[in-house]
Amino acid sequence: MQGFNDYVDELTFKVGYGLTGNQDIGNFLYSSNLNAIATGLGRGFAVGNISNPDLQWEEQRQLNLGVSFSLFNNHLSANVEAYNKISDKFLFQLPLPSYLTGGPGYQGGVSAPFVNLGEIQNRGIEATLEVNGIQKKDFSWNSTLTFSSFENEVQALDSRVDITETFSTGFINSPITRTVLGKPVGLFFGYKVKGIFNDESTIQDQPKQFGTEFLSRDESTTDTWLGDIQYEDVNGDEVINENDRTFIGNPHPDFTFGFRNSFAYKNINLSVFLQGSYGNEILNLSRILTTGLNRPYRNQLAEAEDYWTPDNRDAEFPRPRPGDDNPNIKVSERYVEDGSYLRVKNLKLGYTLPGEFTEQFNISRLNIYGSVQNLATISGYSGYDPDVGSFNQSATRTGVDFGRYPQARIFTLGLNVDF
């Protein structure tokens, strides 16, 4: 054991199991409440919600297995934990179809009940690795790497409600995600795309799309023709319609990471923090607006200039067509993008004034620093910011970007004074 102790400073194995409750939803959901709404006949009262008198806690059962160790005189330490978290009876507002709930609450719609919907499993691993690389008089370096990866799977759904999340604004009214047994929560849901119709000689042999004919622009302004998007006949029934929507993307990353390095050389200190995510996809709904080519007078991204014309057949975008509901801009693979990124989240450079100088003013230490947050992001994502999170904090709208306000780049100049 003598040799072992020479290298290993600390070694800990951890096992943990916990049961926690979650009731993070509104009050009084077990009863039906009335909303007062003005009417031309005096005050009106609308039933505001469908009650659920059987509503219970959500139970989260979590098993953690971990190991942490420290080696080589604490030069290298690590903490690795694997967890298995079961969210049982998880709380969720049923996405009931509009023929049961009507419209928005302020217009008298009846909001769907919160229910204990089923069971979600989150399995993952989290690791932290710390290196105290160099500790010299004039130079030091240490480094922390965190790594996280998880899998998410719906294991039970105590409901026959199809968990399909809809996005409705003045411009879009479409399903966007779907959550089913045995798959992760909130997979993107829409049409697959074959390309742009480009061949007049074969177009009549293709499956008809959304009840339109294949007719040239001279014959019809509303039917399908060269330059339009061709969608994939997913169910093979020789027509393209609502039944051809399918899973088109996954908002969950393969892993996320953070990497911090701190250096000090004499009086100068520098730290760099990188963070990133790999393997997640983003449903970029704002692109429907910024490249849709469907509204006169609406500004478009410069790249949207590359739209289909008879002289530009190898175009990125379909031919312009009017209407927010024209078939070229349906929620489809065209709006699913790789959301992986690497970001220089923070860079900080400091200088500590010499002690003999500052002690004249009774200051034991004076550090001047400048830092930049969100200095740079490397990503293929075309939107403002790949770090989109969940739209309206809804688990079934994770990775949905509708022009989320981007994170600001923040420059800071500061003084740290110790007396």
Partner 1 sequence: MKSFKNRLGFITGIVVLAVILTSCGDSFLNTKPKDSISLSNFYASNAQVEASTNILYDAPWFGWNNKASWSITEMQAGNGRSYSNDVVSFNDFSTQGDNPVIGSGWASLWTVIAQSNALINNLPQRVASEVDQSTIDNALGEAHLMRAAAYFYLVRTWGPVPIITNNLDHVEDPAIPLNRVQDIYQFMRNDLQFCIDNCVDIASGLNTGHVTSGSAKAMLAKVALYQEDYDTARQMSEEVINSGQFQLLEDYSALFKVENNNNLETIIALQWAGDSYGVGNSIQASWAYNNEITGTGDGYSVLGPTIDIQRAYESGDQRRKPSIMLGGAHYPGILSDDGGYTVPEDVNAQGTNAAMKKYVVGTPTDQGGAGAAQASVINTYILRYADLLLIHAESILANSQSTSDPAALESFNKVRERAGLQGKTSITMDDILHERRIELAFESDYWYDLGRIDRSKAIEMISNQERGTFANTPREDPPVINSIMLNPSAEDFLLPYPSPVVAVNDNFTKDPVPYYFGDE
Closer residue to partner 1 (CB): 39 or 74: 39
CB of 104 closer than 8 Å to CB of 48: no
Distances (CA, A) of 409 to 342, 371, 377, 389: 15, 10, 11, 18
Look up residue 98 and give its DSSP letter: H
Q: Which of 8, 19, 36, 415 binds partner 1 (CB under 8 A)?
A: 36
- C-alpha 324/C-alpha 291 separation (Å) is 12
Q: How far is the CB of 5 from partner 1 (least distance, A)?
A: 55
Q: How far is the CB of 304 from partner 1 (least distance, A)?
A: 16
- C-alpha 304/C-alpha 325 separation (Å) is 18
Stretch near partner 1 under the rule CB under 8 A, chosen from 25-33, 138-146, 225-233, 394-402: 25-33
Footprint (CB under 8 A) of partner 1, residues 317-336: 322-327, 330-331
- C-alpha 189/C-alpha 247 separation (Å) is 5
- When asked if residue 34 is in the footprint of partner 1 (CB under 8 A), the reply is yes
Footprint (CB under 8 A) of partner 1, residues 206-265: 210-212, 221-222, 241-243, 245
Footprint (CB under 8 A) of partner 1, residues 352-411: none
- What string of DSSP letters covers 366-419? EEEEEEEEEEEEEE---SS-S---BGGG-GGGBTEESSPPPPPPEEEEEEEEE-
Q: Which of 60, 77, 91, 95 binds partner 1 (CB under 8 A)?
A: 95
- For 92-159, where are the alpha helices, taking DSSP H only? 98-101
Q: Which of 112, 157, 283, 285 binds partner 1 (CB under 8 A)?
A: 112
- When asked if residue 47 is in the footprint of partner 1 (CB under 8 A), the reply is yes
Closer residue to partner 1 (CB): 146 or 166: 166
Footprint (CB under 8 A) of partner 1, residues 171-200: 171-175, 178, 189
- C-alpha 321/C-alpha 298 separation (Å) is 13
For the chain, how far is it from start to end, CA to CA, in angstroms?
47
CB of 69 closer than 8 Å to CB of 77: yes
Q: Which of 164, 286, 367, 394 binds partner 1 (CB under 8 A)?
A: 164
Q: Which of 3, 4, 15, 41 binds partner 1 (CB under 8 A)?
A: 41
Q: Look at residue 303 and give its three-state secondary structure.
A: helix
Closer residue to partner 1 (CB): 97 or 380: 97
Q: How far is CA 143 from the centre of its chain?
A: 28
Footprint (CB under 8 A) of partner 1, residues 256-275: none
Return the residue matching tokens 């799309």: 209
Closer residue to partner 1 (CB): 113 or 186: 113
Q: How far is the CB of 24 from partner 1 (least distance, A)?
A: 18
Q: Which of 91, 94, 274, 400 binds partner 1 (CB under 8 A)?
A: 94
Our CA angle for 80, 85, 88, nearest 5°, is 175
- When asked if residue 157 is in the footprint of partner 1 (CB under 8 A), the reply is no
Stretch near partner 1 under the rule CB under 8 A, chosen from 24-32, 257-265, 361-369, 388-396: 24-32
Stretch near partner 1 under the rule CB under 8 A, chosen from 75-83, 91-99, 148-156, 273-281: 91-99
